[in-house]
Amino acid sequence: MDINVVNSLTYEDFVKIFGSVVEKCPLISAAVWSRRPFKDLADIETHITEFIHSLPDSGKEGILRCHPDLAGRDLQSGTLTRESQEEQSQAGMDTLDSAEIRRMYRLNAQYKERFGFPFVICARLNKKAEILQQLSERIMNDRAAEREGAIEEVKKICSLRLRNIVLSDIQTKL
């Protein structure tokens, strides 16, 4: 993708293309658009990261709350975003057996009860066994450490989504 094309995008087209690099948070790309011109895609990623880190804890937790549960109700009912659907199926979340689904539901609920936001992990970089293990380990963290760790996962998800946009033909999204 030519960065000059990105730099010439209107606000509306920029948000249309990059608005979902952080799940259900188009506000982030709407904010980052004003930092043009970008040097390259890594530069966009840096601005996104800076924006996220500039948020108060409540804003970071708000970002986490925009994420659907892994193997949760949205997956079962087919209401995930396209990106999340692809990521969850790559991690095998759509092929869990009923015992694994029950375990995910129980741990996700306990995690949310403890922290007040859902468990977030980059599904593309983890298989189901690792996800279940991480979920049962991270639930023991304190809230601040867990918030920061989960935001690091959001950044990994964002980075891979950005890369996907570069690989796909930008023109087809306009």
| Binding-residue pattern over the window 34 to 63 for ligand 3AL, x denoting contact by CB under 6 A | ------------------------------
Active-site option among 28, 51, 63, 67: 67
Q: Please tell me whether residue 118 binds ligand 3AL under the rule CB under 6 A.
A: yes
CB of 50 to ligand 3AL, least distance (A): 22
Q: Please tell me whether residue 84 binds ligand 3AL under the rule CB under 6 A.
A: yes
Query: Which residue reads 């995930």 in tokens?
Result: 80
User: Torsion angle of alpha carbons 105, 107, 112, 117, nearest 10°?
Assistant: -90
Stretch that binds ligand 3AL, among 6-14, 33-41, 121-129, 136-144 (CB under 6 A): 121-129
Q: Please tell me whether residue 93 binds ligand 3AL under the rule CB under 6 A.
A: no
Which C-beta is closer to ligand 3AL: that of 107 or that of 157?
157
DSSP state of 97: -
Query: Nearest Cα to 151, choosing from 56, 81, 84, 70?
Result: 56
Q: Letter for the amino acid at 21?
A: V
In sequence order, what are the residues at sequence separation of 6 or more whose Cβ sits closer than 8 angstroms to the Cβ of residue 112? Answer: 118, 119
Residue 67 is a catalytic residue: yes
123-152 binders of ligand 3AL (CB under 6 A): 123-124
Applying CB under 6 A, among 68, 104, 111, 135 the residue interacting with ligand 3AL is 68
Applying CB under 6 A, among 87, 111, 115, 135 the residue interacting with ligand 3AL is 87
List helix spans (H) across the chain: 3-7, 11-18, 26-32, 41-54, 57-65, 73-77, 82-90, 98-115, 128-138, 143-167
* Residue 166, both tokens: 């570069």
The residue ranges that bind ligand 3AL (CB under 6 A) are 23, 67-70, 84, 87, 118-124, 157
